[in-house]
Structure 1
Amino acid sequence: MDRGNNDHLVRSMSQVLHSLRFELSSSSCIYRVPKRLRRASENAYTPQVVSIGPLHHGKEGLKPMEELKNRYLKAFLRRTQVTLEDYVAQIKAKEVDLRSCYAETIDLNSDEFVRIVLVDAAFVIEVLLRFSFRDCQEANDRIFSKPFMLQDVWPDMRMLENQLPFFILDHLFEPHKATLSRGQSLIELSHHFFKTLMHIDVADETLKSIKPHEVVHFVDFVRKLYPLPPWKSQHRGKREIPVTPTMTQLSRAGIRFKDGSKTNMFDVKFEKGFLAMPKLTISDQTEVTITNLIAFEQSQCEDQEKYINDYFFFLNGLVKTPQDVKLLVDRRILDNKLGDNKKGCALIKNLVDGVVDYSKDYFYFFTLCDDLNKYYNMGRHQWKEYLVTHFFNSPWATKEIIAAVIFLFLTLIQTVFSIMSYCHDLGKR
């Protein structure tokens, strides 16, 4: 065997193997979103205006923001009174840790990587400051004044692929907290920035429980603002995850609905024929927020930790048609700011498109789904649903049935009187 002819191939392959990381990092927390999740809405995962971090840096449509980001860096240096050289050295010292946060190898040299991280980190901190404190805004600021790009920047900053590790933001911010933000923490500034997009009231104790060293990036931070369900995830054993009847089917079977907990979106309860669901608001901001939270859970979390996945998987079972959305709206369980039941239905479907949960060992809402199915499948409830579906599904059908019953009743009375009259005539004879 002539091995000499293979030397070039061996050298080439050796170089590839040598370039690999010694070992994959357990610190990975920033991921590419899988194609199976992207198919419903590519734009929900792809920044449209500004790149944050290395994954989307340099893309053609995002280049115009680079000048503004550098202006924000200049302002940040002026606020902190720290030299550019000092900040570059700080980022360089943490480069290994920063790179390990990305699930894929970042194919950039050290200088380019550090430059991206520093510029983008300063930009993010400046956005938070200018959002919270109007006096931090500069004249002709392109984000907070004409052309008012905040509405475009907001979605990009909560996309999973468009993140910087939170620890580097906090590292640059914390030493200057007293002068930059009147003593407010980066956690507090982040909460103020994102809360209006989430349509939830975050309890003070929830916010206080979030520690900076436990937050890996903004998507993780937003997830932590949602309190955990008030019960542990339930092991399903060999049983399949039950798919619930729809809202329309449950309503026709006699189940009543009411607004539930004001503090925990996941505290859904079914007791004595009543399904209590905390109010949920959906808007044009919902898709980006929830799909990226779900993508993060799919990539980062164990089965028993995927409570946002599980909730919207459960909700998707309840909502199959615009009529189901209408029922949720009518019962004041859903605030549909999209203004259209068809759009609301499509949005809820898109949120879990591509999510694979059938193989999960744990499911937070297993018992709830099981109880709903047992109630629905009881004989008398099945009959009630059948009657409502086939005979009382519209006002006209109901009126026709009532008219028919009245007609039968009158016919019966007429028959009785006829028989009585006949008997009376026989008696006279």
Structure 2
Amino acid sequence: MLPNLDLEYFQYLHFYRVPDDHKRGYEESFSPRLVSIGQLHHGKPHLQHMESYKLRFLDSYIKRMGCDFSLEALTTFAMKWINCKLPEDGRNISNDEFVKMMLLDGAVVVEVLLIRSDIRSIGMNKSLLVVMNLTNGIEEDLKHDMLLLENQLPLRFIEYLLSFLSEPITIYKLLLDNFNFGFAPIMASSNSFSTDFGCLSFVELLRRMITGIDKKIQCHGDYIQICCATQLLEAGVKFKGVKGHHFIKDIKFSNGELLMPPFIINNHTETLLRNIIAYEKCSKRNEYICSYVMLLHSLLDTVKDVDLLVEEGIIVNHFGRNEKVLELFNSFYTVKLEKYRSDDFYFHELCNALNTYSKSIWHQWKAKISKWKIILMRDYFSNPWTVISVIGAIILLLLTIAQTICSILSL
């Protein structure tokens, strides 16, 4: 069934230009490296080399299409989008060129996503990769470009192109194959995420996949600073990576245990997080991802904090040394994030509970006793011979004390 190209969809379709103050110092995370997708970066000189290759992507896409393809419907969709809310510098393009751009860029997105598809019948023609000399590095650059807030096509248009494949596949399945950040599948049986979840672009759908939140939830208050992970551990807080189907919304603090779903850190993480945060700022949506980054920024003060979260399965590091993970989250300067809407911190109550728990003298003493027990078990009771030695030493000490007392009493 083809996605419905209704007029109501276009009333909410809005693509954003990231403010300069948000880009400053991190322009690489917001700028396409190789290919323009959509109108905002169309025609940029440093992206022109890829334009000739777009025709090869389109040819590959056409060869795998079924018999229901409708150029007329595609043109109708493109012409509706040209009247949508776009920054003024994204409108200088003729109608014919706009339709051509939509089809070429859409084919690039579909074909790049299919590179990693595990469905052989629609997997990308590997000979195309050879002809275009698309090495893994260039494939990574293409995926980087697809995560940019300013480099997007309407999600429903991509779903529309996918619907013509000889063996249709959902955009959700392709995003899971290509951008795995460790969070669980949501409603994988859905055929249209632009319709079912109101997602307008990749950035918005990926945000939905990470947070697990499908509707606006009232956030609880201002940002609250907490101790780093190792300090919380010393204060009695336990950390646990929750396996299974969990999202950011499932982060909880209960009975002295902070439960967090695993988050995979890889080469795309910084680009994704920065662009989702920019989306939340521009769209005035609840700042769920911004809140999550601020939470991790608070927890990660030294490499030892990263080591702890990696050990507990909360961070899965595919990025390199743990020092690089620390540098990544330190680069998300908390004050800069906080200044946007400090009253929209999703983890206000959780951080408040963590602070209350960690300041308790009783919990601090319990943590120290537990630490001493671990040291004793590790250093003195790790095998039967050390246990026998310790018991022998205790008996010898008791006998020595008894002998001393008897000697004193006999005087």
TM-score class, shorter-chain normalisation, is 0.7 to 0.9
2:273 maps to 1:290: yes
Aligned partner of 1:151: which letter?
A: E
Q: CA separation in 2, counterparts of 1:93 and 1:278?
A: 39
Q: Which residue of 2 aligns with 1:409?
A: none
Q: CA separation in 2, counterparts of 1:134 and 1:89?
A: 23
Alignment of 1:100-115 (within 5 A): 100-110=84-94, 111-115=96-100
Q: Deviations over 1:182-227 (max 9, x none)?
A: 1x24xx2453245342232533625528533323111122222235
Aligned partner of 2:303: which letter?
A: P
Q: Which residue of 1 aligns with 2:264?
A: 281
**SS, match of residue 276 in structure 1:** strand
Aligned partner of 2:300: which letter?
A: V
Distance 1:162-1:248 versus aligned 2 partners, 3 A rule: same
Residue 381 of structure 1: how far off its partner (Å):
4.5
- Which of 35, 47, 66 is residue 62 of structure 1 equivalent to? 47
Q: Which residue of 2 aligns with 1:404?
A: none
Aligned partner of 1:38: which letter?
A: K
Q: Which residue of 2 aligns with 1:118?
A: 103
Asked whether the equivalents of residues 50 and 156 of structure 1 are also in contact (C-alpha less than 8 Å), the reply is yes
Q: Which residue of 2 aligns with 1:137?
A: 125
**SS, match of residue 338 in structure 2:** coil
2:208 maps to 1:224: yes
5+ residue gaps, structure 2? 1-9, 380-399
Q: Which residue of 2 aligns with 1:248?
A: 230
Asked whether the equivalents of residues 64 and 166 of structure 2 are also in contact (C-alpha less than 8 Å), the reply is no
Asked whether the equivalents of residues 29 and 103 of structure 1 are also in contact (C-alpha less than 8 Å), the reply is no
Q: Which residue of 2 aligns with 1:20?
A: none
Q: Which residue of 1 aligns with 2:301?
A: 320
Q: Which residue of 2 aligns with 1:7?
A: none
Q: Which residue of 2 aligns with 1:191?
A: 173
Over alpha carbons, which structure has the higher Rg? 1
Distance 1:112-1:224 versus aligned 2 partners, 3 A rule: same
Amino-acid identity (%): 30
Residue 68 of structure 1: how far off its partner (Å):
0.4
Asked whether the equivalents of residues 234 and 367 of structure 1 are also in contact (C-alpha less than 8 Å), the reply is no
Q: CA separation in 2, counterparts of 1:65 and 1:246?
A: 45
Distance 1:129-1:285 versus aligned 2 partners, 3 A rule: closer
Q: CA separation in 1, counterparts of 2:214 and 2:37?
A: 35
Structure 1 runs of 4+ off > 6 angstroms? 414-425
2:188 maps to 1:200: no
Asked whether the equivalents of residues 223 and 348 of structure 2 are also in contact (C-alpha less than 8 Å), the reply is yes
2:317 maps to 1:336: yes
Asked whether the equivalents of residues 207 and 225 of structure 1 are also in contact (C-alpha less than 8 Å), the reply is no
Asked whether the equivalents of residues 253 and 259 of structure 2 are also in contact (C-alpha less than 8 Å), the reply is yes
Q: Which residue of 1 aligns with 2:326?
A: 345
Q: Deviations over 1:234-278 (max 9, x none)?
A: 5446xx421111101101112112222521132122122121222
Distance 1:276-1:173 versus aligned 2 partners, 3 A rule: closer
2:143 maps to 1:158: no
Aligned partner of 1:32: which letter?
A: R
Q: CA separation in 2, counterparts of 1:286 and 1:98?
A: 31
Q: CA separation in 2, counterparts of 1:232 and 1:99?
A: 27
Q: Which residue of 1 aligns with 2:343?
A: 361
Q: Which residue of 2 aligns with 1:306?
A: 287
Aligned partner of 2:353: which letter?
A: D
Which range moved further: 317-326 or 161-170? 161-170
**SS, match of residue 290 in structure 1:** helix
Residue 65 of structure 1: how far off its partner (Å):
0.7
Q: CA separation in 2, counterparts of 1:134 and 1:294?
A: 34
Distance 1:381-1:105 versus aligned 2 partners, 3 A rule: same
Distance 1:138-1:87 versus aligned 2 partners, 3 A rule: farther
Residue 374 of structure 1: how far off its partner (Å):
0.6
Q: Deviations over 1:97-132 (max 9, x none)?
A: 334142445241323333322321232233344553
Asked whether the equivalents of residues 172 and 193 of structure 2 are also in contact (C-alpha less than 8 Å), the reply is no
Q: CA separation in 2, counterparts of 1:52 and 1:231?
A: 28
Aligned partner of 1:211: which letter?
A: F
2:353 maps to 1:375: no
**SS, match of residue 12 in structure 2:** coil
Q: CA separation in 2, counterparts of 1:417 and 1:112?
A: 102
Q: CA separation in 1, counterparts of 2:190 and 2:317?
A: 30
**SS, match of residue 208 in structure 1:** coil
**SS, match of residue 335 in structure 1:** strand
Q: CA separation in 2, counterparts of 1:135 and 1:373?
A: 50
Count residues with an aligned counterpart: 370
Which range moved further: 87-96 or 414-423? 414-423
Which range moved further: 289-298 or 123-132? 123-132
Q: CA separation in 2, counterparts of 1:316 and 1:143?
A: 44
Which range moved further: 210-219 or 138-147? 138-147
Q: Which residue of 2 aligns with 1:46?
A: 31
2:251 maps to 1:268: yes
Residue 373 of structure 1: how far off its partner (Å):
0.7
5+ residue gaps, structure 1? 1-24, 400-413
Distance 1:190-1:128 versus aligned 2 partners, 3 A rule: farther
- Which of 18, 23, 32 is residue 33 of structure 1 equivalent to? 18
Q: CA separation in 2, counterparts of 1:65 and 1:361?
A: 43
- Which of 68, 75, 78 is residue 91 of structure 1 equivalent to? 75
Residue 383 of structure 1: how far off its partner (Å):
7.0
